[in-house]
Amino acid sequence: MPPWRWRAETAIGIAKGLEYLHYGCTFPIIHCDIKPDNILMDHMENPKITDFGNRQAP
């Protein structure tokens, strides 16, 4: 099991990604299907949000 610090940093990274999608893009993107299967980790263990098939743009 990963240490708690790693889990917290991963959760914060996902939250920052969602914040960018909602507020940082020219047109906000709402993912609508956040779940563990839709989060990938890059080679530096940074979370990446994937699977935008159900997304909505308000």
52 φψ region: left (φ > 0), alpha (ψ -120 to 50), beta (else)? alpha
pLDDT of residue 14: 97
Residue 42 is among the residues annotated as catalytic for this protein: no
pLDDT of residue 57: 63
Q: Please report the sign of the dihedral spanned by the C-alpha atoms of residue 46, residue 12, residue 26, residue 51.
A: positive
pLDDT of residue 36: 95
Comparing CA positions, the residue from 31, 23, 25 lying closest to residue 47 is 31
R_g of the chain, CA atoms, integer Å: 12
The tens place of each residue's pLDDT in the chain, 58 residues long, gives 579 999 999 999 999 999 999 999 998 988 888 999 999 999 999 999 999 887 666 6
pLDDT of residue 24: 95
Comparing CA positions, the residue from 46, 53, 49 lying closest to residue 34 is 49
Q: Which member of 33, 37, 42, 51 is catalytic?
A: 33
